[in-house]
A and B are shown apart, each in its own frame.
Chain A
């Protein structure tokens, strides 16, 4: 029993252990230098990531409340990877910060919550994971303790998330009322598309939609992204969103199958709204973080198109896209985070003439943005192609047309950034940035990932084989 427990919960235990190590470090009397601390933590995260690729467990625990398999492990690896990259990228920011261990403790707690959420097979377990992944995040948003905007962001985050989890819980309670079970397997058997269940499904979707910032549950996103420290913003937009999308895929595809028709229509509407609204808002943005917030909302719209496919291609395209999204978005956030940490500049106007002073960083940002826009040969192209491809498999081409046209709109604002960096003149450009090797490596990995993941078909084929 114990060995099984240790084996199956390997990923979660690794995180827990790191959290504890950090707690002890914090409690230990000797103050470590921030640089050393960061390097140490990063090594731990690398080990954590590497461990995920060996001895992949399959099985379940706690009377089916927790289950794991190759796919879930892969998803957790993605999240581990994203966390590692963010950690590397925020090196410049954190090395001057007083509360490094706390940052990681909170961060890893949320990661732990996500892992549980992914592995959950029960609404209670799911709820616990969800809250564990949300509440520390709100605290993280406030991590620039003396910034007005940071507090405001944190406040908006906690209020909105509390509200949304209230609604989600209300939905779960109704679902419980109508089916009498919290277990996913039994739930599937009990669902029968009656009005109460549809109502609770709507509430559930709203709860999920809040976390992935789908329209109209997205309004917190931009403000929180803008106010939070860049590291947290990128974590929010990539890891946290990715985790919940993983959950959505497994829950919607495996549990809500009896009400597939209903959720298809809902997701359809939400997807259209999300793409359009996300794009329209992104058009006007000046702050890079806020801009990426809206762009990520639009991206979610595209992901939801893939979700509507209700086929193996659909789920694999969503998971595959998240991998690419991690690369692309973190590439972009990497640059923004470095620039913001060193110069404090965050608006698009500051980025004018960026290419003159920082050609390499510009290319990293450009490649990431092109990938987000879905330009070949970058990975984003493949990601988006497969999402819409899967969506088209369902046969509803109106959605595909809307999505394809939205891709054009999204291209406009990505190109606006490109234009600012490459073409516009600026009398007071961002000076030459000398960042540490850690962020550089992180960005290198992202760019490498963007360049390779699409051309080499291995990743997608692997994911597809897992889902079959």
Chain B
């Protein structure tokens, strides 16, 4: 199958739209920019779907596995004969799946924004940024080279930065955008070093070759990287862990998650696109991309597992106490990504053991639907309620039925209630965990219950609870805002029935899709318990929730304050980095380094003043010095020198 004719257009079309809107959007294409953006993305989405169709159904398996195709490839920057950054497009099950997700969700958000962002002063700029993000994200998932992925990695980072800071005159948005970028930058440092190690050890930066060389037990590269150790840990573990640090930063894994809740300062559609459905799963995607290598290195995979599990649990707990609806969703995102991560961590290679991989990807896929739906609904709610806080909401079901229904679907999905999408993927994940590591399974299970609780807490608080009256209500929203909700709602309800494991599995062979119904009883029960607790606390306006939080006391407070992780970071950066590193560096530079230079000049000047007395103005002393000079010369040359 020849993809090269159109595959490159999928990312390049948004790029073109970015350039066009970036240059002219502010002045000339103001109103048109939304249409342009949507149109372009529509084409991209269609192309993506077509590519997916081609890949899975026309091309299909070759020798029983889904092949890895390199559709486009040219050398971008050659470092060494064997090391070069290539710009290429790789097609394999996960990348094809991802372009569909990315372009589809992005399209939804584009359409939604037509209504949501209407009347914004920087409407054109907004769409250009969205296009930039879409381009970068598509580039990221299609990257055929580990450095290429890094390049697009950074580009999605900057698009995220620009979009979080879209309301640039709000200091909180500025701070949040900065925080997001810096934290992920810090993680990217790890990624970069990981790339350096991997690239140089494998003598290639190309994914295919790299994976091939580092998985073949006979290859000299693998022997070298596995046998070399630094600080008692093998280089391979170092490399993979560092790469994972990069992924963890992007995917807001503990302890690098602090930027994600703040990132909600951006426009809500942006949160839906970037901070829920696409960019934040880049880390998962990265681990999945390198999964064959991770697979042979148990230590690094363990790191992935535990970081994922801790993040999942921690975020779920925190989410229970947050009152800002977008923050709740943000923590839930983090929690769900934690799922995907540990699912990868517990995955084996082929057959049933490889279910974790499939589950992770599946969850990524379904999560994209329900989480973007949740965010878009939240956007609609915020649009109406003019606030992010739960306490300002309640009883909104009467005003916005479509939002209400779709939100409910999404909540059910995320809670893992059958037959919605989340149930299927979560079930696979928990099953994989059960098979591999029961501790993780328990964490996952509890988290799943908590998830159900806080999601329904959210749902009840918004749509039920107290009955609020809205005075200046002008309808639920434009058609462009409702359409994506409906489409995504339908998607959320149905995508779970896709036989995902047929297409995507670690060994590429595909798994028979089967449900472990008996196994599912426990998770579903947990979910229902969670929902029930939420119902009892929040369905009606009451002070039960308040009482409960009072009872929990310190535990509640520390959870509410997100376990003080932000404060710790703040302490480290403000106090330690700024005061103990930055300030001394600046001080040393001014006073010691520069002071030395000035000191030399000062000393010279001082000496010059000190010796001025020699030039006394008295001719006799001049003669004396004259004579003294002769005496010195005589002493030196007639006595000392000889």
Across the interface, do A217 and B607 meet the contact criterion of CB distance under 8 Å?
Answer: no
Decide if A342 is an interface residue (CB 8 Å cutoff): no
Q: Which of B585-605 contact A (CB under 8 A)?
A: 601, 604-605
Q: Measured between C-beta atoms, what is the minimum distance from B20 to chain A in Å?
A: 49
Q: Measured between C-beta atoms, what is the minimum distance from A305 to chain B in Å?
A: 18
Q: Which of A408-429 contact B (CB under 8 A)?
A: 409, 412
Return the contact of A217 from the options B605, B617, B629, B637 (Cβ within 8 A): B629
Q: Measured between C-beta atoms, what is the minimum distance from A150 to chain B in Å?
A: 15
Q: Closest residue to B639 on the A side, CB-wise?
A: A195
**Contacting residues, chain A, for B632 (C-beta < 8 A):** 216
Across the interface, do B637 and A198 meet the contact criterion of CB distance under 8 Å?
Answer: yes
Bound complex: CA of A279 vs CA of B601, how far in Å?
Answer: 13
Taken residue by residue from 237 to 271, chain A's Cβ proximity to chain B (1 for < 8 Å, 0 otherwise) reads as 00000000000000000000000001001100100
Given A262-B637, A266-B637, A283-B604: A220 and B619 interface contact (C-beta under 8 Å): yes
Decide if B1 is an interface residue (CB 8 Å cutoff): no
Across the interface, do B622 and A219 meet the contact criterion of CB distance under 8 Å?
Answer: yes
Across the interface, do A269 and B626 meet the contact criterion of CB distance under 8 Å?
Answer: no
**Contacting residues, chain A, for B571 (C-beta < 8 A):** none
- Of B142-150, B441-449, B608-616, which binds chain A? B608-616
Across the interface, do B637 and A160 meet the contact criterion of CB distance under 8 Å?
Answer: no
Across the interface, do B625 and A280 meet the contact criterion of CB distance under 8 Å?
Answer: no
Decide if A210 is an interface residue (CB 8 Å cutoff): yes
Bound complex: CA of A232 vs CA of B116, how far in Å?
Answer: 88
Q: Measured between C-beta atoms, what is the minimum distance from A347 to chain B in Å?
A: 17
Number of A-B contacts defined by CB within 8 Å: 77
Return the contact of A216 from the options B608, B609, B629 (Cβ within 8 A): B629
Q: Measured between C-beta atoms, what is the minimum distance from A411 to chain B in Å?
A: 12
Across the interface, do B630 and A281 meet the contact criterion of CB distance under 8 Å?
Answer: no
Q: Measured between C-beta atoms, what is the minimum distance from B498 to chain A in Å?
A: 76
Q: Closest residue to A273 on the B side, CB-wise?
A: B629
Tell me the count of chain B residues lying within 8 A, CB to CB, of chain A.
29
Across the interface, do A198 and B612 meet the contact criterion of CB distance under 8 Å?
Answer: no
Across the interface, do B637 and A202 meet the contact criterion of CB distance under 8 Å?
Answer: yes
Decide if A50 is an interface residue (CB 8 Å cutoff): no
Q: Closest residue to B641 on the A side, CB-wise?
A: A265
Bound complex: CA of A265 vs CA of B640, how far in Å?
Answer: 13
Return the contact of B615 from the options A195, A202, A222 (Cβ within 8 A): A222
Given A167-B630, A280-B607, A283-B608: A269 and B636 interface contact (C-beta under 8 Å): yes
Decide if A155 is an interface residue (CB 8 Å cutoff): yes
Across the interface, do A163 and B626 meet the contact criterion of CB distance under 8 Å?
Answer: yes
Return the contact of B633 from the options A202, A219, A283 (Cβ within 8 A): A202
Decide if B628 is an interface residue (CB 8 Å cutoff): yes
Decide if A284 is an interface residue (CB 8 Å cutoff): yes
Across the interface, do A155 and B633 meet the contact criterion of CB distance under 8 Å?
Answer: no
Across the interface, do B615 and A199 meet the contact criterion of CB distance under 8 Å?
Answer: no
Decide if A156 is an interface residue (CB 8 Å cutoff): yes
Q: Which of B471-513 contact A (CB under 8 A)?
A: none
Across the interface, do A280 and B604 meet the contact criterion of CB distance under 8 Å?
Answer: yes
**Contacting residues, chain A, for B626 (C-beta < 8 A):** 160, 163-164, 167, 206, 210, 216-217, 219
**Contacting residues, chain A, for B58 (C-beta < 8 A):** none
Decide if A70 is an interface residue (CB 8 Å cutoff): no
**Contacting residues, chain A, for B642 (C-beta < 8 A):** 195
Return the contact of A203 from the options B625, B630, B638 (Cβ within 8 A): B630
Q: Measured between C-beta atoms, what is the minimum distance from A386 to chain B in Å?
A: 27
Bound complex: CA of A150 vs CA of B607, how far in Å?
Answer: 30
Q: Measured between C-beta atoms, what is the minimum distance from A191 to chain B in Å?
A: 15
Decide if A159 is an interface residue (CB 8 Å cutoff): yes
Decide if A223 is an interface residue (CB 8 Å cutoff): yes
Taken residue by residue from 388 to 415, chain A's Cβ proximity to chain B (1 for < 8 Å, 0 otherwise) reads as 0000000000000000000001001000
**Contacting residues, chain A, for B638 (C-beta < 8 A):** 195, 198-199
Q: Closest residue to A206 on the B side, CB-wise?
A: B630
**Contacting residues, chain A, for B628 (C-beta < 8 A):** 216
Decide if B634 is an interface residue (CB 8 Å cutoff): yes
Q: Which of A192-208 contact B (CB under 8 A)?
A: 195, 198-199, 202-203, 205-206
Bound complex: CA of A277 vs CA of B612, how far in Å?
Answer: 10
**Contacting residues, chain B, for A202 (C-beta < 8 A):** 630, 633-634, 637
**Contacting residues, chain A, for B625 (C-beta < 8 A):** 216, 219
**Contacting residues, chain B, for A220 (C-beta < 8 A):** 619, 622
Given A198-B638, A199-B638: A281 and B612 interface contact (C-beta under 8 Å): yes
Bound complex: CA of A152 vs CA of B181, how far in Å?
Answer: 76
Given A198-B638, A281-B615: A163 and B633 interface contact (C-beta under 8 Å): no
Q: Closest residue to B612 on the A side, CB-wise?
A: A284
**Contacting residues, chain B, for A409 (C-beta < 8 A):** 604
**Contacting residues, chain B, for A223 (C-beta < 8 A):** 615, 617
Bound complex: CA of A195 vs CA of B632, how far in Å?
Answer: 15
Decide if B77 is an interface residue (CB 8 Å cutoff): no
* Main SS at interface, chain B: helix
Bound complex: CA of A155 vs CA of B632, how far in Å?
Answer: 27
Bound complex: CA of A199 vs CA of B609, how far in Å?
Answer: 34
Across the interface, do B619 and A156 meet the contact criterion of CB distance under 8 Å?
Answer: yes
Return the contact of A283 from the options B605, B617, B634, B636 (Cβ within 8 A): B605
Q: Closest residue to B632 on the A side, CB-wise?
A: A216
**Contacting residues, chain B, for A219 (C-beta < 8 A):** 614-615, 621-622, 625-626
Given A206-B629, A216-B628, A266-B633: A160 and B612 interface contact (C-beta under 8 Å): no
**Contacting residues, chain A, for B612 (C-beta < 8 A):** 281, 284
Bound complex: CA of A139 vs CA of B605, how far in Å?
Answer: 36
Q: Closest residue to A171 on the B side, CB-wise?
A: B630
Q: Closest residue to B634 on the A side, CB-wise?
A: A202
Across the interface, do B634 and A160 meet the contact criterion of CB distance under 8 Å?
Answer: no
Bound complex: CA of A202 vs CA of B627, how far in Å?
Answer: 11
Bound complex: CA of A280 vs CA of B608, how far in Å?
Answer: 5
**Contacting residues, chain B, for A195 (C-beta < 8 A):** 638, 642
Decide if B623 is an interface residue (CB 8 Å cutoff): yes
**Contacting residues, chain A, for B601 (C-beta < 8 A):** 412
Q: Closest residue to A219 on the B side, CB-wise?
A: B622
Q: Which of A274-292 contact B (CB under 8 A)?
A: 277, 280-281, 283-284
Bound complex: CA of A262 vs CA of B642, how far in Å?
Answer: 10
Bound complex: CA of A163 vs CA of B628, how far in Å?
Answer: 13
Across the interface, do A205 and B619 meet the contact criterion of CB distance under 8 Å?
Answer: no
**Contacting residues, chain A, for B608 (C-beta < 8 A):** 280-281, 283-284
Bound complex: CA of A283 vs CA of B642, how far in Å?
Answer: 37
**Contacting residues, chain B, for A156 (C-beta < 8 A):** 619, 622
Q: Which of B396-448 contact A (CB under 8 A)?
A: none
Q: Closest residue to B637 on the A side, CB-wise?
A: A198
Q: Measured between C-beta atoms, what is the minimum distance from A290 to chain B in Å?
A: 9
Q: Closest residue to B609 on the A side, CB-wise?
A: A284
Q: Measured between C-beta atoms, what is the minimum distance from A317 to chain B in Å?
A: 25
Bound complex: CA of A183 vs CA of B417, how far in Å?
Answer: 121
Across the interface, do A280 and B629 meet the contact criterion of CB distance under 8 Å?
Answer: no
**Contacting residues, chain A, for B634 (C-beta < 8 A):** 199, 202
Return the contact of B619 from the options A155, A222, A269, A283 (Cβ within 8 A): A155
**Contacting residues, chain A, for B605 (C-beta < 8 A):** 283-284
Chain B residues within CB distance 8 Å of chain A? 601, 604-605, 607-609, 611-612, 614-615, 617, 619, 621-623, 625-630, 632-634, 636-638, 641-642
Q: List 25 A-B contacts (CB under 8 A).
A: A155-B619, A160-B622, A160-B626, A163-B626, A195-B642, A198-B638, A199-B634, A202-B634, A206-B633, A216-B626, A217-B626, A219-B615, A219-B621, A219-B626, A265-B637, A265-B641, A266-B633, A269-B633, A280-B611, A281-B608, A281-B615, A283-B605, A283-B608, A284-B612, A409-B604
Give 10 nearest A-B pairs by CB, closest first.
A216-B629, A219-B622, A280-B608, A283-B608, A202-B633, A156-B619, A216-B625, A159-B619, A206-B630, A163-B623
Given contacts A280-B611, A281-B615, A284-B609, 8 further A-B contacts (CB under 8 A): A195-B642, A202-B630, A210-B626, A219-B621, A220-B619, A266-B633, A281-B611, A281-B612
Chain A residues within CB distance 8 Å of chain B? 155-156, 159-160, 163-164, 167, 195, 198-199, 202-203, 205-206, 209-210, 215-217, 219-220, 222-223, 262, 265-266, 269, 277, 280-281, 283-284, 409, 412
